Amino acid sequence: MTMRITRRGLLAAGLAAPFVARPALAQAVTLRAAHTNAVGEVQDEGLKVMDRRLRELTSGRAGLQIFPNGQLGNELPMVEGVALGTIDIAVPSHAAFANFVREFQLFDMPYLIRDYAHLDKVARSPVMAELAEASRGRNFRLLSLYSSGIRHVMARSPVATLADLRGKKIRTQQNPVHVAAFQAFGANATPLAYGELYGALQVGVVDGAEAAYTNYVGQKFFEVARNWSRIGWLSLTAPVILSERRFQALPTDIRSAVVQAAEDSAVFERNLVVEGETALHSQAIAHGAVVTDPDKGAFQRAAEPLYARFLTSDADKRRLRLVQEIV
């Protein structure tokens, strides 16, 4: 695996030149990193790898202090914290980040990302360089791209067909495309902060929500929404972001190490999502989830008009074509 090869390479380099004089170590840099996953979920594990790699690459001069489970705020306040400098690194969903860097709205198009292999190729494509440039224009350094899994529907009552969503209050992220998508599916789209979702499902404020396996099992949503409908409407991603001003203020070698550590951790994290999904599916069933597989074609047809509605500029349309052409 890439991570092991990298570690062995670093070790070999260190053993090859044990007597080379090194300058005195500078004061340690600790970057505060926030996310909304529970401890042990994929983003948390990804940041742990980033922390280890950063310490390896800098001989302990830099590392992360990780704040999981929304300790520093939900997604929108996290991004605002990065912009204000109160948080160094955040891992919001692209849907939340699109409120700050509109170009990320591309990833909100239903059924655009075909599968995890397609996502991995997109994450390495020139499209990401364009999105990184757009982010820098708004004082965000895009370090890498994590996966938050393919999104399905969890609900208090069964959702076996598109018609079963009609009139149901379905929690979506605070994102106009997500709201429009579930309105197109016939639901009453209800934006709600992620930290409030469990309680809202428990008391019936909402009838269901869209989520990935990692959220469904990690946050024990099966306790309050036992029906799991695999519509696969979106591959949600999570950009790893840092304030551009904070990034530029770091020493040059630490900047390079942060970039490398973030890229390495993203490869690990995206693989972790893929490898863990079968086990998470089994865990959901073991906890009483009732799984259905509706006809995705009906959902795709309902959502198709959103492409023209939201991707209106020539640049948007060009990036859309580039992603669709990746095979």
**Measured between alpha carbons, how far is 210 from 197 in angstroms, rounded to an integer?**
11
pLDDT reading at 16 higher than 70: no
pLDDT in tens, 256-295: 999 999 999 999 999 999 999 999 999 999 999 999 999 9
DSSP assignment string, 156-205: SS---SGGGGTT-EEEE-S-HHHHHHHHHTT-EEEE--GGGHHHHHHHTS
Count how many Cα atoms sit within 13 Å of the Cα of residue 214 in the half-sphere of its side chain. Answer: 26
Percent of the chain with pLDDT over 90: 86
**Measured between alpha carbons, how far is 107 from 255 in angstroms, rounded to an integer?**
27
Q: List, in sequence order, the alpha helices (H) in the chain.
A: 2-16, 42-57, 75-84, 94-97, 116-123, 126-136, 176-184, 197-203, 213-218, 244-249, 252-286, 296-303, 306-310, 314-325
Count how many Cα atoms sit within 13 Å of the Cα of residue 283 in the half-sphere of its side chain. Answer: 16
> At 21, is the pLDDT very low, low, confident or very high (cuts 50, 70, 90)?
very low
Beta partners for residue 211, in sequence order: 152
Q: 194 or 36, which is more confident? A: 36
pLDDT in tens, 28-46: 899 999 999 889 989 999 9
194: its two tokens: 């992620």
**Measured between alpha carbons, how far is 24 from 308 in angstroms, rounded to an integer?**
57
136: helix, strand or coil: helix
pLDDT reading at 191 higher than 70: yes
Q: Cβ atoms within 10 A of the Cβ of 161, count?
A: 14
10 Å CB burial of residue 86 (0-12, 13-18, 19+) is middle
CA distances from 327 to 13, 113, 122, 151, 297 (A): 37, 11, 10, 21, 21
Q: State the pLDDT at residue 308.
A: 96
From 51, 93, 274, select the one nearest 178 (Cα to Cα).
Answer: 93
Count how many Cα atoms sit within 13 Å of the Cα of residue 33 in the half-sphere of its side chain. Answer: 26
- The alpha carbon torsion through 166, 171, 173, 176 (nearest 10 deg) reads 30
From 217, 214, 212, select the one nearest 284 (Cα to Cα).
Answer: 217
State whether the Cα torsion 170-172-176-177 is positive or negative.
negative
Q: Cβ atoms within 10 A of the Cβ of 309, count?
A: 11
Q: Cβ atoms within 10 A of the Cβ of 17, count?
A: 8
Q: 185 or 195, which is more confident? A: 185
**Measured between alpha carbons, how far is 79 from 192 in angstroms, rounded to an integer?**
17
Q: State the pLDDT at residue 214.
A: 87
pLDDT in tens, 210-253: 999 988 998 999 999 999 999 999 999 999 999 999 999 999 99
pLDDT reading at 22 higher than 80: no
Q: State the pLDDT at residue 27.
A: 52
